[in-house]
Amino acid sequence: MNLTSIVKPEILEELKKGNTEVLKGLPPVLAMQYGLALSSDYKEKSPINDEELNKAMLDRLKDSGVKERLTKQIEEGEKVTE
């Protein structure tokens, strides 16, 4: 069911602007419907591919030598605590 067809568009626009005063005096169920309509209105697919980002970050770590440096620091820290 599409919540944006139930709620008034002018109230939804005010909520998008951050004006929560428009919810005062409304029954809790109706206020919740506006919240749900607002949250479903903002749900969109992220343009960032998480798998590709993870791969790129790991490749970057390999290229920069950071991974080896961090591993060495962790190993040295473990030796100190022993």
Q: What is the pLDDT of residues 35-67, one digit of tens each?
A: 888 887 766 666 777 788 778 877 776 767 777
If one compares 81 and 32, the residue with the highest pLDDT of the two is: 32
Q: pLDDT digit string (tens) for 15-42? A: 888 888 988 888 888 888 888 888 877 6
Buried b vs exposed e over 44-57: b needs ≥16 C-beta within 10 Å?
eeeeeeeeeeeeee
Percent of the chain, pLDDT > 90?
Answer: 0
Between CA 16 and CA 21, with CA 19 as vertex, the angle to 5 degrees is 135
